[in-house]
Structure 1
Amino acid sequence: MDLSIIGYDPVGAWMKTAGTAEELLSYRNPSGITWINVEGIGNKLDIVKLAENYKIHPLTVEDIMDTEQRPKAEEFDDYIFITFKAVNRNRTSEEGTNIFEQMSLVLMESTVITFQEIPGDSFNGIRKRILNNAGRIRKMGTDYLAYAIMDAIVDDYFLVLDKLGSSIEDFEDRAVDERDDNFIRDLQGVKQSLLHVRRIVWPLRDSLSMILHLESKFIEPELEPFFKDVHDAVIQAAETVESYRELIAGVMEVRLSMMSHRMNSVMKVLTIISTIFIPLTFIVGVYGMNFRFMPEIEMRYAYPIVWGVMILIVAGMLIVFKRRHWM
């Protein structure tokens, strides 16, 4: 577990790293804003010690440790607790898809604590802005820092959605390729990834909606437009997910239509062949009977005549099928 702490105010900023909670708590920033980031939640003792020092409720600690926790937001006397899913940029699955990790954020009057399930994040831009005094972040409070963190996470959602969108566009081209035997399996994988994103985005939309309606001392009124901007971005992401689901359904319909058309073509050919052979089978069956007295059997040219009749029947049927556009 890696621990880092950033302290800043309008005048200056500093950053320290630590290996244990005791070492981290030795760094103090009594006059400004403090941002503590915990990478990895494997060491529960350090998390509990950190929670005790900042008066974080034991139930909140349980939610922090629960990596399957549904995104939500709760207000306590001393802080606002928000948990959600974030994209881990440093790792991907065996299939090359993005890995989502559990993220928890504790917003206090002068401190923000973030807990990450997996080391590695997309907050380097925020750290640089703090240390280099870029933008307005050093002039604002902890609520603006919380907004910046959530905004960076939501931006990563769109990176994942853009990647899924490109994959869906490829499937639109593959849908008409009859030789693509892996189409259904690959499309199902993209569909599962999209459903996973949907389960992440929709609850976060509700959490942000709740934060917008809070009359909390931890969020200044002038910060409400910023959180509303993140809320609108999450709604846009949710709408994008739904549009992609419709696209996948459309691609699947095209694929099924192509398969149905191919099946109909095969059945038409087989039906034509079967229809042509019906009269031929009848003729061959009649003359294949073992009766002793059959007038045509004794004829000298009976065999070529029968072949001629069968050829004329086949040719006539093909002409009829062609004129009726059955083939």
Structure 2
Amino acid sequence: MGKTNKPHRAEHARRIQPLYRNVGESGAGVSPGTPVYIGDREPAESTYTLIQYTPRSVTVATPKTVEELMAMIEPDAINWINVNGLASEADYKWLCALFKLDPLTMEDMRNTEHRPKFEDFGEYIMLITKMLKRHELGATEYEQVSFVLTKNTVITFQEVSGDCFDPVRERLKSGAGRIRRLGSDYLAYALLDVIVDNYFAVLEDIGRRLEHFEDESTQDRESTRFMAGLQNVKRELNTMRRILWPVRDVVNAALHSESALITDELRPFLRDLLENCVQVIEAIENYRETASGIQEVFLSTVSLRMNEVMKMLTVISTIFIPLTFIAGVYGMNFMHMPELGSRWGYPAAWLVMAAIASALILYFKKKKWL
């Protein structure tokens, strides 16, 4: 598979606002395994989508409740349950209990600030990753997506509605490729692959922004505006590096997992996905170096421009020093100054000052200081 950026104010506000927790004021002190919602946004109401498919057919349903959802599960088909929103703690607990998920799994998936991770519980695999969304205003939003993989079911938990999974949905509906012929592990891989593909799209946008800054770095631009914009890109890249670096470890753990839920047929695809994750990390590192290089070039350009200004001011000051001295001497107004009584004293003073200024200018040009 060939794959080949000031966080905005909204993003900055997200970093400094308090985390939402639905147990007490801070959620501190609760026992381990308690599924406390932790996140940087108010939890959305839960909605459900169920896609079931076999090699020959596919059905899509939108059950209203967990009870209705579970009644639709077909053990002889692959079931993809997509949960948007984590506001309903009771429904969340009920759904997890029906699939016999460990309390620690329930706690981790409800903590949307959790580090990406992969964990094998035998009967199921829990995987946490991050999905990137690029808004029209240029801000990058990070959303946690949690996976639960069983023998014939994939459950995905998202913070809000809206995702990058539409290509997978279209492939399921059209029957294109191998997705409907393989098991639930391939479905989980396909969803992860789309998430990683979306990283490249976000990075391409950052690359275009860096090219724009690179073009402006040697031009006469407003320093404050330029540096603020470039620093925002650097901050965004640092955030991406911190969040996406563990995703590579997650894919690597899945590749080397001995779980029976991951078939040997999936290993080549996971290796390719791991290579793409490494490529994402390398692209982030390259862009960070590029941003630092652009900043250095811009600062050097500003420094050079300032040196040129200082050189010109120094030359002007040097020319006027002797002229100021002459003007100061003849401005003392003593009674007995021979030149004051001379008829040609005034034009002679101007002639001397003009000669001195001309000589200094010629000297500076000879030294190539002008």
Shorter-chain TM-score tier: over 0.9
Q: Would you say 1:163 and 2:205 are equivalent positions?
A: yes
Counterpart pick for 1:253 among 296, 306, 313 = 296
* Residue matched to 1:40: 85
- Measured against aligned partners, the alpha-carbon deviations of 1:172-227 in whole angstroms (never above 9, x if no partner) come to 11112223341111111212222222122211011111222211111011211111
Work out whether 1:51 is the aligned partner of 2:100: no
**CA apart distance, 1:298:** 1.5
Give the aligned residue type for 1:215. E
Match of 2:105 among 60, 69, 80: 60
Q: Does 1:121 align with 2:163?
A: yes
SS of 1:137's equivalent?
coil
Do residues 185 (structure 1) and 222 (structure 2) align?
no
Question: What amino acid does structure 2 have at the position aligned with 1:220?
Answer: T
1:7 aligns with 2:52: yes
Q: Distance in 1 between matches of 2:241 and 2:58?
A: 38
Q: Distance in 1 between matches of 2:362 and 2:259?
A: 84
Higher relative CO (Cα under 8 Å, sequence separation at least 6) belongs to 2
Give 1:101's match in structure 2, choosing from 128, 139, 143.
143
Shift in Å, 1:85 = 0.7
1:131 corresponding residue in structure 2: 173
Cα deviation, 1:112-164, whole Å, max 9, x if unaligned, reads 10001110112122122223222111111111111100000000000000000
Amino acid at match of 1:266: V
Which ranges of structure 2 fall in alignment gaps of 5 or more residues?
A: 1-45
Residue 352 (structure 2) aligns with:
309
Q: What is aligned with 1:267?
A: 310
Is residue 2:259 matched to residue 1:216? Answer: yes
Cα displacement (A) at 1:12? 2.1
**SS of residue matched to 1:138:** coil
222-231 or 119-128: which moved more?
119-128
Q: Which amino acid aligns with 2:349?
A: V
Alignment match, 2:196: 154
Question: Which residue pairs with 1:279 in the alignment?
Answer: 322
CA RMSD of aligned residues (A): 1.4
Q: Is the 8 A contact 1:88 1:118 kept in 2?
A: no
Secondary structure in 1 matching 2:349: helix
Unaligned runs of 5+ in 1: none
Q: Secondary structure at the match of 2:260?
A: coil
CA distance in 1, matches of 2:217, 2:241: 24
Contact 1:174 1:180 in 2 (8 A): no
1:27 aligns to 2:27 (yes or no): no
Give the corresponding residue for 2:123.
78
Which has the larger displacement, 17-26 or 100-109?
Answer: 17-26
Which secondary structure state, in structure 2, belongs to the residue aligned with residue 18 of structure 1? coil
Give the residue type in structure 2 aligned to 1:8: Y
Matched residue SS, 1:100: strand
2:217 counterpart of 1:197: no
CA deviation after TM superposition for structure 1 residue 19, in Å? 2.0
Native 8 Å contact 2:129 2:145 kept in 1: yes
* 8 Å Cα contact 2:122/2:259 also seen in 1: no
Partner of 2:157, secondary structure, is strand
| Deviation by residue 1:259-288 (Cα, 9 ceiling, x = unmatched) | 001100110011001101111111112222
Aligned pair partner of 2:153 in 111, 116, 136: 111
Equivalent of residue 237 in structure 1, options 243, 262, 280: 280
Q: How many pairs does the alignment contain?
A: 324
The TM-score normalised by the length of structure 2 is 0.85
CA distance in 1 between counterparts of 2:278 and 2:259 reads: 23
Question: Conserved in 2, the CA contact under 8 Å of 1:88 and 1:120?
Answer: no
TM-score normalised by the chain length of structure 1: 0.95
